[in-house]
């Protein structure tokens, strides 16, 4: 420091002539002159007008670091770390620049005013912002810039960190324009405009209407078109209409209420071709589901396309009262999308390849290697995954087919269906990432662990598969290639259905063989009607499920052993069926035989299979009676309907064998409908059932005693 009165030397300054001392130039400033009142900032350093001369010169901050994006449908949360160098100032703030980009990210435009920032776009003091109201399925680039008090003084180009995100699905925006087309005494024809933001392909519209001031009782009808004829209305009555659209992402909000009044005199109604799919009348406290048969038929026309799925299957669902109410999702065939790459992004999350660590190759798929590895998503813990890769040099079709599996899998959400984590499509190799199943495929797993599980454990695995299949059939998805090789098992012995696809399904299955009709079908697992005339339905999946049961109970044995496919087709057609696996409970074998009924309508539904298996698990004694080992046909097929294995298939059959068939109805009516329940019958019960003759009582009680012994003798772990 120089002394008072002295003229300041170069490198020193005195801001006020009244100051006693000269001060050294603050950091990043200089003066070569004597008697300076102010030091100049070095190049690229600045001083704001209100910065005191004693303050160091400062510069703009460097770019923020480590930006992380978190996408939720059409909003994104951006988080980042402060810049490595704040430029020597404490007034660092951030601003976000939003750009909407083409798929290849080459052309980008500013997002404009349609996008909202929470808390704000500029002047952000914290290191995060939420950007909302983005468009669905759109690529955005966000640039985050740190600025401080001297940023605007600097000619140096701004420094920012950027992140690319692709928004995913969002429900459609509400419909804003609804117009009447024609009005008659009992009919109102309406048309409307697509929502401004469909945010995907509109699958259908839901039209809700009710008499004005009578909202407690309303009717819902559906249409695939943007028009409808509503009939059955009262004359001279005001009706309120509200319409909403549905995409794969779900329903959008209802439109505002539109009022229309029917006319007092009959006018010709408009075009009747747009019939509703279903009519659902809802009254407060009570839901009346009214399915009008005429409407059902039109439902097949109006329903969105489920190419390759069986229309009869759909009809059956309705006949069974299985109505897909709003909110219950239905499988959508990705091939119904004009652009299949849109389908994959509709149903699958895009994962940045940098989040995936491939560890080892675990197998080979049709399209490339299957690997195990780890996935570390931003803000989440790393976890193991399986990664299917698409080999290099693929064609467009191969890429589409490969990704169609993800488009299908991504629509499912069930503990017994393999879970899709996401896809990598923006970099190579293209990948499908799923949860990792430690024990691999079920057939190999069972072969490796022959005889090591209890019956309950095996039934538990079967129950899981049936539950997954129940979910798939509820979604309207027919698997077509259900087999133990396509079931995966995790470390908790949870089994999950995997291997989804369309044309691909059967192409990559080594078991699939060409039939005389040219299709490729895994003969041993496939129902006769599917082999004969490609009638693939949930009922044919049930047949395959019966074969999976057999595979499980025989620890991965090959169905029909080394018989040729032709011999299998012939034998099954002649009514022969696989014999019971070794040590298989009668009840389970019976269930297999039920799944292999020639008449597909007589086969149990997956719903029933789950319920039967649940009962077995709850009542393990029902699994104790094994098919008599001495009478079980070794590797020979058995004729269907004649088990002849020393066990009875039903209470009726057992009573018949005792020449007591006249009591079958009494047993059934008293709730003794299965043999395991019969083993618990006492003499008192027998009297209550209505067996009054002492001789009959004795005969039946003796036989029950024998059944009990069989049950106890077979109480061995399998």
Decide whether 135 or 370 has the Cβ nearer to ligand ACK. Answer: 370
For residues 68 and 142, what is the distance between their CA atoms, to the nearest angstrom? Answer: 11
* C-beta separation of 52 from 33 below 8 A: no
For residues 547 and 589, what is the distance between their CA atoms, to the nearest angstrom? Answer: 11
Decide whether 56 or 362 has the Cβ nearer to ligand ACK. Answer: 362
Continuous segment of H or E residues that includes residue 624: none
Decide whether 487 or 711 has the Cβ nearer to ligand ACK. Answer: 487
Segment 390-394 long-range contacts (CB within 8 Å, at least 24 positions apart): 390/429, 390/430, 390/431, 391/367, 391/429, 392/428, 392/429, 394/367, 394/430
* C-beta separation of 185 from 235 below 8 A: yes
Q: How far is CA 84 from the centre of its chain?
A: 42
* Structure token pair of residue 704: 């029950």
Give the shortest CB-403-to-ligand ACK separation in angstroms: 16
Give the shortest CB-505-to-ligand ACK separation in angstroms: 14
Decide whether 58 or 434 has the Cβ nearer to ligand ACK. Answer: 434
Q: What are phi and psi of 283, to 5 degrees?
A: -120, 145
Q: Please name the residue ranges forming H helices in 427-519.
A: 442-448, 455-474, 503-507
- DSSP code for 254: P
| Catalytic member of 79, 481, 499, 541 | 481
For residues 231 and 208, what is the distance between their CA atoms, to the nearest angstrom? Answer: 13
Decide whether 385 or 475 has the Cβ nearer to ligand ACK. Answer: 385
For residues 80 and 93, what is the distance between their CA atoms, to the nearest angstrom? Answer: 12
Give the shortest CB-147-to-ligand ACK separation in angstroms: 47
> In the chain, helix, strand, coil percent, each to 5?
30, 25, 50
Decide whether 437 or 610 has the Cβ nearer to ligand ACK. Answer: 437
Q: Which residue is nearest to ligand ACK (CB)?
A: 363
Q: What are phi and psi of 692, to 5 degrees?
A: -100, -25
3 state SS for 184-252: CCCCEEEEECCCCCCCCCCCEEEEEEEECCCCCEEEEEEECCCEEEECCCCCCCEEEEEEEEEECCEEC
Decide whether 370 or 701 has the Cβ nearer to ligand ACK. Answer: 370
- What is the contact surface with ligand ACK in residues (CB under 6 A)? 362-363, 365, 370, 386, 418, 434, 436-437, 440-441, 444, 488
Find residue 190's DSSP bridge partners. 180, 228
Give the shortest CB-479-to-ligand ACK separation in angstroms: 16
Give the shortest CB-556-to-ligand ACK separation in angstroms: 11
Give the shortest CB-624-to-ligand ACK separation in angstroms: 32
**Is 141 exposed, middle or buried (CB count within 10 Å of its CB: 0-12, 13-18, 19+)?**
middle
For residues 718 and 711, what is the distance between their CA atoms, to the nearest angstrom? Answer: 14
For residues 342 and 332, what is the distance between their CA atoms, to the nearest angstrom? Answer: 13
* C-beta separation of 213 from 197 below 8 A: no
Give the shortest CB-467-to-ligand ACK separation in angstroms: 18
Give the shortest CB-418-to-ligand ACK separation in angstroms: 6
Active-site residue, 396 included: no
Decide whether 51 or 508 has the Cβ nearer to ligand ACK. Answer: 508
Local structure of 117: helix, strand or coil: strand
Give the shortest CB-357-to-ligand ACK separation in angstroms: 15
* Structure token pair of residue 275: 């019939």
* C-beta separation of 432 from 423 below 8 A: yes
Decide whether 437 or 686 has the Cβ nearer to ligand ACK. Answer: 437
Query: Would you name the residues annotated as active-site residues?
Result: 481
């Amino acid at each position: 420091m120089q002394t008072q009165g002295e003229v300041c030397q170069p490198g020193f300054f005195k801001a006020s002539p009244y100051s006693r001392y000269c001060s050294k130039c603050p950091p990043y400033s200089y003066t070569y002159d004597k008697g300076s009142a102010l030091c100049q900032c070095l190049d690229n350093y600045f001083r704001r007008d209100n910065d005191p001369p004693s303050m160091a010169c400062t510069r703009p901050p460097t770019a923020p670091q480590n930006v992380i994006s978190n996408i939720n449908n059409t909003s994104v949360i951006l988080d980042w770390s402060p810049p490595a160098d704040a430029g020597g100032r404490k007034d660092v703030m951030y601003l976000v620049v939003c750009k909407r980009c083409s798929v290849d990210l080459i052309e980008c435009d500013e997002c404009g005013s349609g996008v909202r920032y929470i808390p704000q776009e500029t002047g952000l003091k914290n290191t995060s912002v939420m950007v909302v109201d983005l468009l669905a399925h759109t690529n955005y680039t966000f640039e985050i810039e740190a600025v401080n008090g001297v940023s605007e003084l600097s000619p140096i180009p701004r420094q920012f960190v950027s992140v690319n995100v692709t928004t995913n699905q969002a429900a459609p925006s509400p419909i804003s324009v609804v117009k009447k087309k024609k009005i008659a005494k009992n009919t109102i024809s309406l048309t409307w405009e697509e929502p401004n933001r469909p945010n995907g392909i509109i699958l259908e519209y839901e039209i809700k209407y009710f008499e004005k001031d009578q909202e407690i009782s309303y009717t819902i009808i559906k249409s695939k078109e943007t028009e409808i004829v509503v009939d059955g209305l009262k004359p001279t009555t005001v009706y309120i209409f509200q319409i909403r659209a549905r995409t794969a992402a779900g329903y959008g909000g209802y439109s505002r209420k539109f009022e229309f009044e029917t006319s007092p005199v009959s006018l010709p109604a408009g075009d009747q071709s747009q019939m509703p799919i279903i009519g659902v009348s809802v009254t407060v406290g009570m839901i009346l589901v009214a399915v009008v048969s005429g409407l059902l038929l039109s439902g097949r026309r109006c329903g969105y396309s489920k190419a390759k799925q069986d229309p009869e299957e759909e009809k059956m669902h309705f006949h069974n009262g299985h109505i897909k109410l709003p909110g219950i999702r239905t499988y959508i065939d990705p091939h119904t999308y004009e652009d299949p790459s849109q389908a994959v992004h509709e149903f699958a999350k895009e994962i940045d390849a940098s989040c995936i660590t491939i560890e080892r190759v675990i197998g080979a798929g049709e399209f490339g290697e299957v690997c195990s590895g780890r996935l570390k998503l931003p803000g989440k813990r790393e976890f193991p995954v399986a990664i299917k890769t698409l080999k290099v040099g693929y064609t467009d079709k191969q890429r589409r087919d490969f990704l169609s599996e993800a488009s299908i899998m991504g629509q499912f959400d069930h503990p017994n269906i393999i879970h899709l984590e996401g896809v990598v499509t923006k970099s190579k190799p293209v990948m499908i990432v799923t949860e990792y199943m430690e024990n691999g495929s079920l057939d190999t797993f069972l072969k490796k662990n022959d005889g090591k599980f209890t019956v309950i454990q095996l039934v538990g695995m079967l129950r899981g598969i049936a539950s997954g299949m129940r979910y798939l059939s509820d979604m309207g998805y027919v698997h077509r290639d259900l087999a133990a090789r396509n079931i995966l098992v995790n470390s908790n012995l949870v089994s999950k259905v995997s291997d989804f696809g369309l044309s691909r399904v059967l192409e990559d299955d080594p078991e699939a063989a060409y039939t005389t009709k040219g299709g490729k079908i895994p003969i041993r697992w496939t129902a006769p009607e599917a082999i004969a005339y490609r009638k693939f339905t949930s009922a044919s999946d049930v047949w395959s499920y019966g074969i999976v049961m057999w595979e499980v109970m025989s620890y991965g044995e090959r169905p029909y052993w080394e018989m040729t496919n032709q011999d299998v087709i012939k034998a099954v057609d002649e009514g022969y069926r696989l014999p019971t696996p070794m040590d298989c409970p009668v009840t389970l074998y019976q269930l297999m035989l039920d799944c292999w009924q020639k008449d597909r309508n007589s086969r149990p539904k997956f719903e029933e299979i789950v319920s039967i298996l649940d009962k077995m698990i709850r009542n393990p004694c029902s699994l104790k009676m094994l098919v008599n080992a001495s009478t079980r046909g070794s590797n020979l097929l058995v004729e269907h309907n004649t088990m002849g294995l020393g066990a009875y298939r039903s209470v009726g059959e057992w009573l018949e064998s005792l020449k007591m068939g006249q009591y079958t109805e009494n047993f059934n009516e008293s709730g003794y409908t299965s043999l395991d329940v019969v083993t618990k019958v006492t003499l008192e019960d027998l009297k209550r059932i209505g067996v009054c003759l002492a001789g009959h009582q004795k005969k039946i009680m003796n036989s029950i005693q024998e059944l009990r012994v069989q049950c106890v003798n077979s109480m061995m772990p399998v």
